[in-house]
Amino acid sequence: MSSAFLTLVRKDAILEWRQKHTLYGVVLYIGSTVFAVYMMAGQPEASVWNILFWLTQLFVVINSVARSFLQEPAQRFRYYYSLVRPTTFLLAKMCYSVVLQMLMTGISLALFALMLGWPLEKGLLFCAVAGLGSLSLSVVFTFLSAVAARAGQNAALMAILGFPLVTPVLLILSKLATKALSAAIVTGWWQLAGIMLGLDVLIVVMGLILFPFLWHE
Amino acid sequence: MSFKQHWWKWLAATLVMYVTIAGFFIQTPNLRQGGLFQTIRNLFYHVPMWFTMLTLFFVSVWYSVKHLRSFSAETDLKAAAFAKVGLLFSCLGMATGMEWANYTWSGTTGRTGPWTGDPKQVCAALLMLIYFAYFILRSGIKDEEKRGRIAAVYNIFACAMIVPLIFVIPRLVDSLHPGGSQGNPALNPKDSDPHLLIVLYPAFIGWILLGLWITQLVVRMERVKQKLELA
């Protein structure tokens, strides 16, 4: 189990590294999105900054994590199916997506700081919430990418399926992040953070239960 | 057409008729608080829609679970039919809610008109979007067996993810909606006038039965359509 898991994660990393153009494509996508946001909003106040950051994260996650299942041809999945258990495969994909999305979140945070300024009181706390956000968003979209790939569809379907599901997640995340914006006390912060973590666990568990049905032909 | 078999349809028709008429005529408390006054009657027409919708969606998910255990075409057909009628009831619930909000909430949040951006309105809209997405997903897949399986997986996943949120977020954030952030957003039996409850409880039963009846008809229509396609 563990060796197959590590091999699968390594395989994804190597594939990404060999096709550098897609990786650089996502980085360029982040760069141009942040630049477009900057051109329109300038250096906004903290609450607007927060909203713009999470919206950017939503579009970045769709472009980076979407490919986790969509970039490989369908025939290859049949080959994987004969090799590993579906749960191992999904966990490996999710793990790789989380790492990739953390990296992309780091890049977009750096670009936001460079262009839109850094109007935060507690920078480290915001980075922690951003990390939690990339974890939550990437596990949801990894699973939806599997659904879209099995349906033989493109990334547009993933956006249709995913937006209503992640809107509440983004709401919770931006609410969590408000604690980092100012020195004001936010009541019930830990409760909200607990809900977010609980939801992540639920998504992973549901994914592990449902994925074998999705994969089976 | 024996009465023994169809008694629940008679019950549904009688109850829906009773609550529709009684909803207009019974004595209701004339509440000044929140500018409710006579609009409180909307309780009888608006809240049962959401209860019916939730019931139908849960039945739909139940059939999706059954579909993943059996892969029979029948369970998939039923899951889709229940979702379809549930979506119809969500549209009705949204319409009655927005119409009511137009008179009681308009202007209170700085926004006028039927859409005030209240958290409960937003959550309900998200729920509707999810089921619209469910039907777009279904229509995109030609192969029947594949369609059933993928739609069932999405239905269960969406339900597991959104239901906690629908029940959690409205209780956390401030809202104009009666019930607000203090507790159950739909109803509060301890704090309701008993006159309201003698119409409200029959309304739940009547509308839920009517929803099941409509779904039964939709299922039969779909079966006939399938047979015609095969013939």
> A206, A208, A211: which to substitute to probe chain B, counting the most B Cβ within 10 Å?
A206
Q: What is the mean pLDDT of residues A150-163?
A: 82
Picking from A89, A80, A37, the residue whose alpha carbon sits closest to that of residue A58 is A37
DSSP reduced 3-state for B28? coil
Residue B129 near chain A (CB below 8 Å) = yes
Inter-residue contact B206 to B18 (CB < 8 Å): yes
| Other Cβ atoms within 10 Å of B99 Cβ, number | 14
Report which residue type is found at A204: V
The HSE-up count of residue A20 (CA atoms within 13 Å, CB side) is 0
Say if residue A136's pLDDT is above 90: yes
pLDDT tens for each residue of A111-123: 999 998 888 888 8
Q: What is the mean pLDDT of residues A99-127?
A: 91
Ranges B114-128, B140-154, B155-169, most confident:
B140-154
Q: How many residues does chain B have?
A: 231
Residue B164 near chain A (CB below 8 Å) = yes
Q: Which residues contact B91 (CB under 8 A, 6 or more apart)?
A: B128
pLDDT tens for each residue of A1-12: 578 888 888 888
pLDDT tens for each residue of B32-44: 666 677 777 888 8
Distance from CA of A198 to the nearest CA of B (A): 10
Residues of B in Cβ contact (< 8 Å) with A164: 126-127, 129-130, 133, 162
pLDDT on residue A140: 92
- Of A150-159, A187-196, B81-90, B127-136, the poorest mean pLDDT is in A150-159
Picking from B176, B154, B82, the residue whose alpha carbon sits closest to that of residue A165 is B154
Rounded to whole angstroms, the Cα distance separating B188 from B199 reads 15
pLDDT on residue B182: 44
**Does the beta-carbon distance from A210 to B156 stay under 8 Å?**
yes
pLDDT on residue B177: 64
For residue B76, what pLDDT band results from cuts at 50, 70 and 90? very high
Inter-residue contact A133 to A54 (CB < 8 Å): yes
Q: Which residues contact B83 (CB under 8 A, 6 or more apart)?
A: B56, B57, B60, B131, B134, B135, B155
- Residue A22 CB burial class (10 angstroms; 0-12, 13-18, ≥19): middle
Which residues share a beta bridge with B31? B37
Say if residue A71's pLDDT is above 50: yes
Inter-residue contact A60 to A29 (CB < 8 Å): yes
Q: What Rg do the C-alpha atoms of chain A give, in angstroms?
A: 18
Inter-residue contact B210 to B26 (CB < 8 Å): no
Among residues 5-64 of chain A, which lie with CB inside 8 Å of chain B? none
The HSE-up count of residue B214 (CA atoms within 13 Å, CB side) is 19
- For tokens 């057409």, the residue is B1
Q: What percent of chain A stands above pLDDT 70?
A: 99
Rounded to whole angstroms, the Cα distance separating A151 from B138 reads 9
> A171, A192, A202, A203: which to substitute to probe chain B, counting the most B Cβ within 10 Å?
A171
What are the backbone angles phi and psi of residue B37, rounded to the nearest 5°? 45, -130
Say if residue B183's pLDDT is above 50: no
Say which DSSP state B31 is in.
B
The HSE-up count of residue A131 (CA atoms within 13 Å, CB side) is 7
